Structure 1
Amino acid sequence: MGGVKEDEIEFLVELLSKYPLESLRKIASAEGLDYYRLKRIYDRYYGKYLVVSATYNIRLLGLKSFVGFLSVPADRLIEVALRMTKNPFIGYVNPAFGFKNGLSVIFYVPKDQVKDIDEMLAKYSDDFEYYEVWAYPPPKKPKEWGDWELSYDYAILMDILKWDARTPMKRIAERLGKTRPTIRYMINRLQEKKLLVGFFPLVDMNVHDRGVIGIASELKEEVLDKFKDYEISVGYLPGRGYLLEWFFSSREDMGGKVLEFSAYVEKLLVEYFEQSFKELNDNNKKTAFQRMVKKDGSGYRSILEF
């Protein structure tokens, strides 16, 4: 992160958490900040190191979330990743080495296509394992899975808001060939149906270029307290346990991290956030919903089509 001031990124993240869609002038006025200083910081980092992204309730959209680990020879990593990131149901792919040497994958599957997961992953590797993953802590009474019940235009809108929720309304209206009031109505409808959870600033993975992924049959509460100074993510694996992921920089002692975290998990691997893979993932993510959904809006395409 040469030349990047982490305190300025943190400052911007804090502001955009409070005012995700407001203009810089409104933010400066509300917070009593110097507009030109805020604009300099915003122009320096926004779109490069962080972006405001829409978060959706995939359960209500009828999608199930999975994490997978595939054995792939080192000399075939890019080739396999290229093929995988043509599939819009693949959220991201990164090199990973540990209990599986090859690729770690996040992917989303329509609820009625879960039976096809093995066939999909077998296109890329003959040795893999995967787990359904929920947000932590899991709900005590999970809601029913929904379905895609929107027109195709909503898929395009959702991609735009997912990629950059601060995209000017005028540009969104031009992209969809609709008026700005219609776009506002569509966004309000997503919120009213609770499909759109909210807008949140996301720091780019380039800030953390390594991760340690662990799978544990039980979650020891001391883990979250012990590593509270690290960026840590926890997922619930129904019937299997928990997914723990720690993010850090390659400048830190990776060997020490592995030893430290291995005491709390049964399976462990190290994930690498490389620029070439980031570009593949970003290109796939930009239009994911509009390639998942049938153009007549009647539902999702097959995960085996790609």
Structure 2
Amino acid sequence: MIRPATVFAALTLALAAGCAQMPEAGAPREGFVAALARALPFAVGVYGVARAEPAAEGGAQAEAERGESVLPYARVGAGFMIDAAGHLVTAAHVVTDTDEVLVKLADQRVLRATVVGADAELDVALLHIASPGPVAPPLGRSSHLRPGHWVLSVGEPYGLNRSVAAGIVGGTDRHFSDDPELLYLQTDIALNPGNSGGPLVDARGEIVGMNMRTVVGAYGTPGVSLSLPIEVVLAIADELRAGGIARPRLGAEFDDVSPQLALASGRGTTQGAVVTTVRRASLAERMGLRPDDVIVAMNDRPIGSSADLARSLLGWRQPAGTKLVIWRGASVLTLKLD
């Protein structure tokens, strides 16, 4: 007869052996040193110098009399290389309305950068420096990310040189109505002033996004941090390199359909994207869009959420002939742009 204690001991040993053979979940024991070794050489600090920035408390002369520095004001941000030819990207607000843009490389060299182009609405700028890299940066694919994956940020928060933070992906394809044509990656990484424009790096050391901002909760509670997917960043950079933004702008803000609206409209589903604002003299106004219209298809492509519509608009190039299928109240209408 086998005693219960003997069976329990055998099961304990078997479980212990099985656990020893299982790969450890979560962060690797050595941290993310290997991943950062791949990405850090391509991360830079970006400084938008504005010589005309008004000095506080009496101006530059008063600062000099107090023994304080009278160096020009600079917005501090971050960026990263996107090729081996000296092109890099950063957040547009870091370099907009500045007299000079400086870039600090991984080896601590400081170079002047040329602003190739900037999209203030999408907050992406393309820069160029006269120091090509020896190899192309490790650009990855954000489409591989899933909620729970580890990610890293590199930046200059509060001027702290090449600061690194780690967190996890909280969601992908996030859309906000005040950024009508953008999609974001959501993470729990703390992004602070100086992180804008820096790289979001996955656990393999590949750059998968550009860090943008943190949405702070009510009463200052911790919010969520947002990064642009690398695919979107590179598409915008290509447009800027070509001399301008080729994408038409719909000129409407939209959001996900709330459960309340789904029931109030009689549709009983949250599928679609509800229009919240239509700008005057916009393509949306020309098409006849109105606030509270629910867009369920664009050019024969189903729209299940506001993220779907934002994704369609990111790839939109030809306005003429554009078709939108909408719900307006209890009626289904097709709007066409001639």
TM-score by length of 2: 0.22
Larger RCO: Structure 1 or Structure 2 (Cα < 8 Å, ≥ 6 residues apart)?
1
TM-score by length of 1: 0.24
- Would you tell me which structure has more helix in proportion to its own residues? 1
